[in-house]
């Protein structure tokens, strides 16, 4: 009995310490908010890069495709390529993708079109993380970051 | 009989209070394992993704998977025969916790499987069965996880009491060993795909270290140590004889070296004779006629103990142990009362061997009829040599209530009470002892299951 209490108390204490130190209190309180309030949850979207909102005018006029970096993000490898046309980002294609599991593959298939749509609208990486696909979204941004930075340098 | 000659060193047991503290710390560690498993999905970002298709199921499956494998880690540590746990809690109680935890571990792991497939079905908008095939086949880590899941489900299925009662104990035990392989596969898939581990090297390192320690404990305490000890002892059967008109069997064994043990401890004995080598059975260690001879006395109750009566001399025997906390190391009080029920007389005789000449122990042997008191002569001699008193209580429970055991005894306040016998006997005698003023810290029980 005494040892059962010791076990339960240390489970509670280690849970509290781990959540506190790991910065999980926010996640817990938003979960509580979801469970106990009738309001529809606000999507916890965060911006991937601060970036500007003005459309860049630096990219080449003729269609040019520039491959991005291959990013290993734990659940897979993602490499994208950007096609610039008439000073704008015209399209994004997936050059290379390997998923570690079926769930990640499904997420990638869902998230990449959404991210690309956002990117084409914003014309820079100031786009929202796709909720549920944080790792994929981050990999998406990382793969393209260098390409967009390089084009910006090129133009200036 | 030279009981003292073969009695082992008691020093290795250590100070009782310090050992209690050690076991408390181990339980705190078990609590921490569960606490961290619960905290991981909160910290690693899984919980922040509950609004996506399948996200809430994925969070629940991460949680159940972590808690399930944390429970399995505790079960492995409990089954590893860490000497500390055996000396403080005693192997029967340790294994009771192991069994108590088992349905939870299996339940959480199987729940994890169903939830993970559900999450994939929602994310990929596929029916459950197609999602299951997709989940099982997408990567090497998931193939490993699928094999592990099938093994867990299989062992869970054969462990239902109704099913298990139809399977020989040894067969069940061999199948349940597959879980060690399943656990390795499960951990591989966790480290490869678990959101807790993929992007958090510290969590990954902690989990690997925890499992390495558990695995090495099993390997050293259950495999290497018993193997090395058995090899050194080179035990073999010298002779067998019937006691009590064939109700008990006494097996004498010779050993090349002296075995050290505390009176009241047991060994898991394995007789290398055909398929019997697959079974190991617990019996109290009794000293033989010299320091390199051992004995065991078994009540003839089943298939194995009947076979034991005809075990050929020269049969090689290997052992695991000695195990058990039913020893004088647990003594706290100033006087001793030893109560034996039926086959419990072996443990009480062994314990008596460790008591010194001035200890004046009270010993009560309770048997159904006199032919069952097969060690009466040896008990009488051992009690007389220590200035104590032996009382024989004969009769079934209907004829003589167990309360008769305590007739004529003083208040038990400062007396250590040692009780060995069938579980039901031990439970009732413990309750009677408490009613007679015995302190629960001074009660020492050795219930054996047949």
When pLDDT is averaged across residues A139-150 and rounded to a whole number, the result is 86
When pLDDT is averaged across residues B396-419 and rounded to a whole number, the result is 86
> pLDDT tens digit string along A93-102?
999 998 877 7
CA distances from B71 to B22, B33, B77, B104, B185 (A): 20, 8, 10, 8, 16
- Which pLDDT score is estimated for A46? 55
| Alpha-carbon span B78 to B94, nearest angstrom | 6
Show residues of chain A in contact with B90, CB under 8 Å.
none
- Which pLDDT score is estimated for B270? 95
- Helix, strand, coil content of chain A in percent (nearest 5): 50, 20, 35
Structure tokens at B189: 């898939």
Tokens 């097996």 correspond to B251
pLDDT band at A128 (very low <50, low <70, confident <90, very high): confident
Q: Where are the alpha helices (DSSP H) in B297-344?
A: 303-308
Tokens 């104990």 correspond to B169
Kindly state the helix (H) or strand (E) to which residue A37 belongs, with its residue range.
Answer: none
State in Å, rounded, how far the first CA of chain A is from the last one: 73
CA distances from A121 to A113, A134, A148, B287, B330 (A): 12, 20, 15, 87, 76
- Which pLDDT score is estimated for A53? 42
- Which pLDDT score is estimated for B76? 96
Show residues of chain B in contact with A103, CB under 8 Å.
54, 58, 116, 119-120, 123-124, 135
- Which pLDDT score is estimated for B16? 61
Show residues of chain B in contact with A5, CB under 8 Å.
none
> pLDDT tens digit string along A44-58?
445 565 544 444 445
User: Is the per-residue pLDDT at B366 higher than 60?
Assistant: yes
- Calculate how close chain A gets to B121, using CA atoms only, in Å: 9
| Alpha-carbon span A73 to A56, nearest angstrom | 28
- Which pLDDT score is estimated for B250? 96
- Asked if B93 reaches chain A (Cβ–Cβ under 8 Å), the answer is no
pLDDT band at B445 (very low <50, low <70, confident <90, very high): confident
- Which pLDDT score is estimated for B314? 96
Q: What is the mean pLDDT of chain B?
A: 89
Show residues of chain B in contact with A107, CB under 8 Å.
123
- Which pLDDT score is estimated for A151? 73
| Alpha-carbon span B319 to B317, nearest angstrom | 7
- Which pLDDT score is estimated for A47? 59
Report the range of poorest mean pLDDT among A85-94, A130-139, B276-285: A130-139
B390 strand-pairing partners: B363
Q: How far from chain centre, in Å, is Cα B236?
A: 25
- Which pLDDT score is estimated for A153? 57
Q: Which residue has the higher pLDDT, A14 or A44?
A: A14
> Pick from A14, A101, A106: which is nearest to B142 by CB?
A101
Spell out which chain A residues touch chain B, with contact meaning CB-CB distance below 8 angstroms.
2-4, 6-15, 18-19, 22-24, 27-28, 30-31, 34, 41, 43-44, 74-75, 99-103, 105-107, 110, 131-135
Q: How many residues does chain A have?
A: 156
User: Is the per-residue pLDDT at A14 higher than 90?
Assistant: yes
Q: What is the pTM of this model?
A: 0.76
Show residues of chain A in contact with B198, CB under 8 Å.
74-75
Percent of chain B, pLDDT > 70?
Answer: 95
Q: Which residue has the higher pLDDT, B354 or B413?
A: B354
Q: How far from chain centre, in Å, is Cα B89?
A: 10
- Which pLDDT score is estimated for B106? 97
Contacts of B129 (CB under 8 A, 6+ apart): none
Q: Left, alpha or beta for B271 (phi > 0: left; psi -120 to 50: alpha)?
A: beta
Backbone phi, psi, residue B373, to 5°: -80, 65
> Pick from A7, A34, A103: which is nearest to B120 by CB?
A103
When pLDDT is averaged across residues A115-138 and rounded to a whole number, the result is 85
Residue pair B203/B196 in contact by the 8 Å Cβ criterion: yes
Show residues of chain A in contact with B57, CB under 8 Å.
none
ipTM for the complex shown: 0.72
- Calculate how close chain B gets to A148, using CA atoms only, in Å: 26
User: Is the torsion defined by CA of B394, B400, B406, B408 positive or negative?
Assistant: negative
> pLDDT tens digit string along A15-42?
999 999 888 888 888 888 877 765 544 4
Report the range of poorest mean pLDDT among A100-114, B24-38, B96-110: A100-114
Pick the closest to residue A137 from A154, A113, A120 (CA basis): A113
- Which pLDDT score is estimated for B110? 97
Pick the closest to residue B66 from B102, B31, B109 (CA basis): B109
CA distances from B359 to B97, B353, B390, B418 (A): 35, 11, 13, 14
């Amino acid at each position: 009995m005494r040892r059962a209490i010791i076990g339960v108390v240390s489970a509670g204490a280690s849970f509290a310490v781990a959540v506190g130190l790991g910065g999980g209190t926010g996640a817990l309180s938003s979960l509580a908010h979801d469970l106990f309030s009738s309001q529809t949850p606000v999507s916890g979207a965060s911006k991937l890069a601060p970036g500007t909102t003005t459309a860049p005018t630096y990219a080449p006029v003729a269609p040019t495709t520039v491959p991005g970096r291959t990013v290993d993000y734990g659940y897979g490898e993602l490499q994208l390529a950007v096609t610039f046309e008439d000073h704008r980002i015209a399209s994004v294609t997936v050059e290379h993708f390997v998923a570690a599991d079926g769930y990640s593959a499904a997420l990638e298939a869902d998230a990449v079109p959404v991210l690309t749509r956002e990117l084409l609208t914003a014309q820079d990486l100031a786009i929202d993380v796709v909720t549920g696909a944080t790792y994929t979204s981050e990999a998406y941004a990382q793969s393209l970051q260098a390409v967009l930075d390089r084009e910006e340098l090129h133009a200036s | 009989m030279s009981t003292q000659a073969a009695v082992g060193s008691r020093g290795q047991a250590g100070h009782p209070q310090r050992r209690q503290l050690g076991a408390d710390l181990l339980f705190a560690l078990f609590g921490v394992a569960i606490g961290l498993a619960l905290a991981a999905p909160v910290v690693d970002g899984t919980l922040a993704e509950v609004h996506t298709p399948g996200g809430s199921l994925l969070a629940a499956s991460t949680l159940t998977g972590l808690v399930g494998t944390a429970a399995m880690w505790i079960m492995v540590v409990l089954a590893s025969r860490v000497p500390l746990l055996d000396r403080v809690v005693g192997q029967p109680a340790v294994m009771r916790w192991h069994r108590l935890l088992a349905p939870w571990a299996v339940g959480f792991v199987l729940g994890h499987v169903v939830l993970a497939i559900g999450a994939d079905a929602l994310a990929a908008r596929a029916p459950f069965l197609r999602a299951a095939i997709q989940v099982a086949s997408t990567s090497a880590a998931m193939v490993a996880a699928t094999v592990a899941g099938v093994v867990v489900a299989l062992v869970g299925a054969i462990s239902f009491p109704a099913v298990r009662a139809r399977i020989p104990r040894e067969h069940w035990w061999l199948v349940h060993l597959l879980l060690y392989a399943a656990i390795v596969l499960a951990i591989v898939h966790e480290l490869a795909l678990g959101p807790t581990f993929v992007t958090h090297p510290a969590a990954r390192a902690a989990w690997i270290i925890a499992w390495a320690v558990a695995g090495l404990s099993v390997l050293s305490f259950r495999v290497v140590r018993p193997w090395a000890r058995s090899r050194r002892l080179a035990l073999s059967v010298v002779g067998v004889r019937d006691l009590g008109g064939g109700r008990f069997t006494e097996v004498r064994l010779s050993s090349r070296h002296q075995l050290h043990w505390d009176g009241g401890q047991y060994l898991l004995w394995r007789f290398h004779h055909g398929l019997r080598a697959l079974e190991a059975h617990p019996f109290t260690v009794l000293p033989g006629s010299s320091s390199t001879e051992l004995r065991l006395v078994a009540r003839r109750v089943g298939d194995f103990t009947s076979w034991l009566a005809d075990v050929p001399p020269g049969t090689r025997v290997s052992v695991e142990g000695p195990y058990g906390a039913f020893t004088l190391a647990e003594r706290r009080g100033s006087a001793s009362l030893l109560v034996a029920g039926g086959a419990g007389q072996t443990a009480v005789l062994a314990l008596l061997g460790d008591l010194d000449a001035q200890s004046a122990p009270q010993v009560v042997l309770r048997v159904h009829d006199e032919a069952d008191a097969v060690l009466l002569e040896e008990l009488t001699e051992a009690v007389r040599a220590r200035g104590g008193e032996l009382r024989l209580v004969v009769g079934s429970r209907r004829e003589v209530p167990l309360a008769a055991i305590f007739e004529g005894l003083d208040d038990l306040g400062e007396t250590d009470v040692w009780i060995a016998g069938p579980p039901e006997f031990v439970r009732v005698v413990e309750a009677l002892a408490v009613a007679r003023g015995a302190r629960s810290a001074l009660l020492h029980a050795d219930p054996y299951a047949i």
